[in-house]
A and B are shown apart, each in its own frame.
Chain A
Amino acid sequence: MILSLDFSSETPIYMQIRNQIMLGIAEGKLKPGEKLPSIRMLADESGVNMMTVNKAYQLLKQEGIIAIDRRSGAIVSSVNNNKTEAITKLSAELKLVISEAKLKGIDKAEMRDLLDCLYEEMEGGK
């Protein structure tokens, strides 16, 4: 998977790493059990501080997306089937997204279409 970091973006680098790894898994570019570069290796590759990479990896670990092993480094976790937990977390995040959509005049049907479209796009990437 190719990570693409934009240093001129307003999104912090650790968040860019976290988001892209998450997207990569959703799109099937990263498979469960696949090894990710170690913190030091990714820091060397990107030229960012090890702390930045560590922050991104810790976030992904907390979210159950990756597992960090001292010997084998970071590994993509198996799909988390705990739907209840995921729904609770996503509800809070989606509330914000829906609020923003409403403020910008996007109605429910348009939002649904958008979701369908994005789902199809991701499944197509698999």
Chain B
Amino acid sequence: MSFMTVILLILFYPILPIMYFMMRNEVKPRKNIVLGVTLARAVLNEPDVKDLTSRFVRELRNYTLLVAFLPFPVLFVQRSSIVMLILMNWLLLAIVAPYIPYTKYHRKLKTLKNEREWTLGTGQKTLIDTNAAVRNDIQRSDGLFVAPMVISALPFVYELAAGTGLEAQIYIRIGCGVFLLTTIMFYYLYRLVHRQRTEIIDEDSTYNTVLTRIRRTNWARFWLQAAWLNGLYSLVFWLGITGRVAMTLFLAATVLYTAFILWAALKAEFATRKMQYKLAAGSPTPLYMDEDDHWINGMFYYNPHDNRTLISNRVGMGMTMNMGKPAGKIIAGFALVCILAMPFLPIWIIAEEFTPLKIEVTDTALVITHLSEVARIDTADIESFELLEELPRSRKIVGSAFPDLRKGTFDADGLGRGRQYLNPQNPSFILLRTRQGYIIINMDDEVLDALSN
């Protein structure tokens, strides 16, 4: 049982209870929507509705229990790429499985609604509360995002201007750039929260105003927290990847960052749901906006008449795409490809781990290949070389590190940053010093002959 496997399992496993509680919550009426079906308040306690929701919860529990035991054999797998393959597939299963009972019972409830002709007064119309819309047009606090954006930009700007001098600088720049873009995206989502449609549950505008304000306040606060956290984590990421802070500190910060983002998102969503439930249950003149026909299986929004691309999600949390718009189709298609690619991603890691490194000696250079050419060292550039019986303790900066493969830039004790292309399980190594820095490769007679000549 490897330490890394345990860490990965701890990081992946929470998704299962989160999915379970999130989906279980779908039986609680949110704006009079149960399992993605809009129902009048009068029918929420009908025995048939209660029966369907309790059967859904039972089936959801069975699916969750089934998935719960599946990842544990991974603790007995030695190869880290196989561990990743199993965990990634399990993660996808844990996310997708709850939607099987959800879709099934959503359809059953929709059929029941049609059979019993539980039609709602407003029909399939779009409702707008003009008064609530005006009252909810509150000032945004855009200025609060300046500081996290600047903090996020610092490592990226530094890397562009000064740089670390590492071979892996391009990856460091990309990494820092991604974190900067993420902070900017959080700001965009903050703005979008303020442009989301007013929630309508009652003829009395006060209810609609309060309900909308609760959603907007909770989510606006979340995006601001996320932007600050991401800004600070950008710094930690940069310090970690460039070897300026200890790896344990970097890993601990990463776990904390993930846990806090998850906790804050769940807190925002459940605080909103709680108030939605309370207000919808107590509103004096309920008004129902029945958009069920625009929601395919209660999950995918399709409405060509709606100009918006991003819509508040009906199931789970966050936002979803309007598939009735070309942009929505493209983004949703891309997201689908990414999700479906998840189980195949570890295949590349398997190829990395199971392919041995090869060193070829030509007249003028040493060529190292691993899946493709990874390094070419001109023999003329080699200033000196020495044999190492033991590999110095090293920490990966960028590249691959498996029990029997090291490929990329490493920080080695006593040597500093340099490149390593080797199998650590082989007994001895050659340290090559060039003008660009040092390189450690496996001991090889042919290489030694070429170097000696």
Contact of B308 among A3, A4, A47, A73 (CB under 8 A): A47
Using CB atoms, name the residue of chain A closest to B197: A45
Question: In chain A, residues 1-31, which have Cβ atoms closer than 8 Å to a Cβ of chain B?
Answer: 1-8, 24, 30
Residues of chain A with a CB closer than 8 A to B134's CB: 35-37, 41, 73
Report Cα–Cα, A34/B198, bound state, in Å.
Answer: 18
Q: Answer yes or no: A46 CB below 8 A from chain B CBs.
A: yes
The one of B195, B303, B307 that contacts A49, using a Cβ cutoff of 8 Å:
B307
Interface residues of B in 143-195 (CB under 8 A from A): 195
Interface set, chain B 292-308, CB cutoff 8 A to A: 303, 305-308
A2-B287, A4-B122 known; A46+B128 contact, CB < 8 A: yes
Chain B residue contacts of A5, Cβ below 8 A: 125-128
CB distance from B201 to the nearest CB of A (A): 11
Chain A 88-117 near chain B by CB (<8 Å), digits 1 or 0: 000000000000000000000000000000
The answer to whether B197 touches A4, judged by C-beta atoms less than 8 angstroms apart, is no
CA–CA, A41 and B130, complex, Å? 9
Give A81 Cβ to nearest chain B Cβ, in Å. 25
- Do A3 and B128 have beta carbons less than 8 Å apart? yes
Known: A47-B303, A47-B306, A49-B307. A42 touches B124 (CB 8 A): no
Instruction: Given A1-B130, A2-B128, A5-B125, decide whether A41 and B307 contact each other with a Cβ distance below 8 A.
Output: no
User: Which of B126, B129, B133 lies in contact with A7, CB distance below 8 A?
Assistant: B126
Say if the beta carbon of B200 comes within 8 Å of chain A: yes
Task: Identify A47's interface contact among B122, B126, B130, B203, CB under 8 A.
Answer: B126
Tell me if B131 counts as interface (CB < 8 A to partner A). yes
- Cross-chain contact of B125 among A6, A44, A47 (Cβ < 8 A): A6
Beta-carbon contact of B287 and A46 below 8 Å: no
A59 close to B (CB within 8 Å): no
Cβ-closest chain A residue relative to B304: A7
Say whether chain A's binding surface is mostly helix, strand, loop, or mixed. Answer: mixed
Q: Chain B contacts of A43 at CB under 8 A?
A: 307
Q: Is the contact region of chain B dominated by helix, strand, or loop, or is it mixed?
A: loop
> Complex: how many Å from CA A24 to CA B131?
12
Residue of B nearest to A44 (CB): B195
- The residues of A that contact B308 with a CB separation of less than 8 Å are 44, 47
What separation, in Å, do the CA atoms of A123 and B274 have in the docked complex? 39
Interface size class of A (residues with CB under 8 A): 20 to 34
Q: CB distance A8 to B128 under 8 Å?
A: no
Which residues does chain A contribute within 8 Å of B124, judged by CB atoms?
A: 6, 8
Residue of A nearest to B136 (CB): A41
State whether the Cβ of B137 lies closer than 8 Å to any Cβ in chain A: yes
Contacts A41-B137, A47-B305 known; A1 to B131 CB distance under 8 Å?
yes
* A2-B307 contact, Cβ under 8 Å, with A36-B134, A46-B126: no
How many Å from the CB of A10 to the closest CB on chain B? 14
> Which A residues fall within an 8 A CB radius of B?
1-8, 24, 30, 34-38, 41-49, 73
4 nearest A-B pairs in the assembled complex, by CB-CB distance: A47-B306, A3-B128, A37-B133, A7-B305
Task: Kindly list 16 other residue pairs between chains A and B, CB separation below 8 angstroms, not including A42-B130, A47-B305.
Answer: A4-B125, A4-B126, A5-B126, A6-B124, A6-B126, A36-B130, A38-B137, A41-B134, A42-B133, A43-B307, A44-B195, A44-B308, A45-B128, A45-B198, A47-B303, A73-B134
A–B pairs, 28, beta carbons within 8 Å = A1-B129, A1-B130, A2-B130, A2-B287, A4-B127, A4-B128, A6-B123, A6-B126, A8-B124, A30-B130, A34-B131, A35-B134, A36-B130, A37-B128, A37-B130, A41-B134, A41-B137, A42-B130, A44-B195, A44-B196, A45-B197, A45-B198, A46-B128, A47-B306, A47-B308, A48-B307, A49-B307, A73-B134
